[in-house]
Homo-oligomer: A and B are copies of this chain.
């Protein structure tokens, strides 16, 4: 009997806030492999804010997902069958195989995972794209150095929580912004952040930030945008660097949201804002993985996973990202 694949496809392109009904679960038989192909059984699926952009019918840095096409997303999985020359049955791999239980691939863009060195799920966060994003964004884009004050928004997310910990390793003062007191307790209590602010309850975010950053903000790692960034930018120190990694507050906006014009602050502070994608650092990925692995093994970087069960719940997990439901990395568990 043929294997049955369950996959999540895009059902509609919401102009505003995404909902579970924008996706549909389809079942299909898994076809036989051809020469050069492998069959991968997904174990964990990653859901990330950037995927919201791929639901729009707009050419961006990557093509949009088509209606009825499987949603994009990175997974870790085990090779169940192989007609590939080098990838073998039993190998663990990570790659962009989409929101589905089984995927056929020719191996392009996949990387092999060593399950003996760390839990395989970590290849989707601290030892994967979010980790590399934090690493290059803080070191290369923000140019963080010992003694700098680093502010990170979305601080309890998969990227933000690693940014702050790398900042502490570098000897920075680190202040995290998040939307939940439990998240902040984790950041300041367990991860060593110097301070944290709940942007939903702080009243005056700019004033609270000013108290925690008396010498100004040298590095701002921005995952959020909107009113959170509005509060940080006026507090920049001279020659500050801002990394625009994400703007999650804006991804569900039907039309561009209005905010106070901020560019003039950059003149006074001689500040630099740079948007980046981790793909731009593809050539240096190994460097990031090596150092992040060392930091995880030595206990200098900790992580938390927020796990939901079953491919059918991937849309719910995804929608939850925009409601701030995850602390640490949001994963969907598919199989053991």
Chain A contacts to B: CB under 8 angstroms: 60-61, 222, 225-226, 229, 244-247, 250, 256-277, 280
**Contacts A266-B274, A268-B275 supplied; 9 other A-B pairs, CB < 8 Å:** A226-B261, A244-B263, A244-B264, A246-B267, A250-B264, A257-B261, A258-B259, A270-B280, A273-B274
Q: Which residues of B contact A274 (CB under 8 A)?
A: 266, 270-273
A182 to chain B, nearest CB (A): 28
**Are B263's CB and A275's CB within 8 A?**
yes
Residues of A contacting B: mostly: mixed
**Are A60's CB and B229's CB within 8 A?**
no
**Are A268's CB and B226's CB within 8 A?**
no
**Are A273's CB and B276's CB within 8 A?**
no
**Are B277's CB and A273's CB within 8 A?**
no
- How many monomers of this chain does the complex have? 2
**Are A256's CB and B267's CB within 8 A?**
no
Q: Which residues of B contact A275 (CB under 8 A)?
A: 263-272
With both beta carbons as reference points, the residue of chain B lying nearest to A238 in the complex is identified as B61
Q: Which of A250, A261, A265, A270 has the most CB of B within 10 A?
A: A261
Q: Which residues of B contact A256 (CB under 8 A)?
A: 260-262
Q: Which of A266, A275, A276 has the most CB of B within 10 A?
A: A275
Known: A259-B258, A260-B256. A60 touches B250 (CB 8 A): no
A269 and B247 CA atoms in complex are apart in Å by 14
**Are A260's CB and B263's CB within 8 A?**
no
